[in-house]
Amino acid sequence: MTGKTLKIKAAKRTQRKRRIRSKISGCATLPRVSVFRSNRYISAQAINDETAVTVAAVHSKTLGLKANIEGAEKAGAVFAQTLKDAGINEITFDRNGFLYHGVVKAFAEALRANEIKF
């Protein structure tokens, strides 16, 4: 891709991210789970936006997983267990400007399969 195309792609993701964040936020009882996907890794964190504190987090690098669908499913299962240990059963899902497709969708479905509601 050319430099111009990459700038347009990044600008569109930023626009989607701002639009999503204007509508959702997290609190102590219903934290916002923000997902970040790169070409190599996937990470997520549960955030209490009222106090700006990260409640729980997971990163595929520490788990030895890649940013593919299988890795996202395993990371989602581990993150669901981390949320349950923190006493959280319901979340607000923030896809962080990424399309709800592929790795992001697999991560969300893994959370749902492990009884995390959103």
What is the pTM assigned to this prediction?
0.92
Residue closest to 43 by CA, chosen among 2, 91, 103 = 103
Tell me: pLDDT of 2 over 90. no
Q: Please check whether residue 90 is in contact with residue 118, taking contact to mean a CB–CB distance below 8 angstroms.
A: yes
Which of the four pLDDT bands, split at 50, 70 and 90, describes residue 23?
very high
- In the chain, domain spans: 3-113
> Which tens digit of pLDDT belongs to each residue from 32-66?
999 999 999 999 999 999 999 999 999 999 999 99
Multiple choice CATH, 3-113, 2.40.70.10, 3.30.420.100, 3.40.50.300, 3.30.70.3420: 3.30.420.100
Supply the pLDDT for residue 60: 97
Supply the pLDDT for residue 1: 78
Q: Strands of 53-59's sheet, edge to edge?
A: 53-59, 42-48, 32-37, 92-94
Which residues are CB-neighbours of 78 under 8 A, at least 6 positions away? 58, 63
> Which tens digit of pLDDT belongs to each residue from 61-109?
999 999 999 999 999 999 999 999 999 999 999 999 999 999 999 999 9
